[in-house]
Amino acid sequence: MNLVKLKNMSKTSIIVLVVAVIALAGVVVWQGLVQPKPSSALPETNQPAVNQEQQNQDETAGWKTYRNEEYGFEIKYPPDWQFVEYPAINSVGFGKNPVPEGSSGENDFGIIVYKDPISIPDIINQSMKKYLVDTSQSNGIIDGEKSFIIEGRLTGLSDGPAEKLEGNTIIGVFSTKKGTTYRFNGSLGNPFDSNKKMIFDKVLSTFKFLK
């Protein structure tokens, strides 16, 4: 009699166990159907950068293009700007009213090309450092090449026609390609004008080496 009860109890336990397993399997299947599966797609964090690049291209789509085979570059500039070439110093100036050749002043954007080997620190020490205060320095990239950036306020220009530039914030960006150094200058106003800085950056972003 006790053996029969034990057998009956074992069958009951088995039935309960089977039901529990079936119920558990149902829960697992339900979770697999309802809950979202992890996505293997790449994160969308890169998308804004692509959009920003496209935005920059759209904003310069109607700009003019300056190309100089001798100096080995091309660059875009706003449609209401003009340019002046300064062959004596291998330079080109851009702006709404670029400085005439032989005059003193600061263009909205300028490029000087150093064909002879010279280090960037030497250029800065010879032509910029003694006239700049409150300087900041950083690094960047121009058309795939490393660049060095220096920004500061002009001072010590109280003598001569350059006096009107006293206190102006200027920026200089330097990059070297195959032994030729390119210097990009910009006048950012007095006081500092963030809109001028934005335009300077946009123009610089269109620069392309030809060799």
**Ranges 46-60, 97-111, 155-169: which has the least confidence:** 46-60
d(CA 168, CA 187): 7
**pLDDT class of 51 with cuts at 50, 70, 90:** low
**Residues contacting 62, CB < 8 A, separation 6+:** 79
Q: Look at residue 10 and tell me whether its pLDDT is greater than 50.
A: no
Give the pLDDT of residue 54.
61
**pLDDT class of 34 with cuts at 50, 70, 90:** very low
Answer whether 0.85 is exceeded by the pTM: no
Give the pLDDT of residue 106.
79
3-state secondary structure of 166: coil
Q: What is the pLDDT of residues 82-129, one digit of tens each?
A: 999 999 999 999 999 999 988 877 789 999 999 998 999 999 988 887
**pLDDT > 90 in the chain, percent:** 52
Which amino acid would we find at residue 10? S
Per-residue b or e along 173-202, where b marks 16 or more CB atoms closer than 10 Å to that residue's CB = bbbbbeebbbbbbbbbbeeeeeebbebbeb
Percentages (nearest 5) of helix, strand, coil residues in the chain? 40, 30, 30
Question: Across residues 187-191, what is the average pLDDT?
Answer: 91
Question: Across residues 50-72, what is the average pLDDT?
Answer: 81
Question: Across residues 51-79, what is the average pLDDT?
Answer: 86
Q: What is the pLDDT of residues 126-160, one digit of tens each?
A: 888 788 888 999 999 999 999 999 999 988 776 66
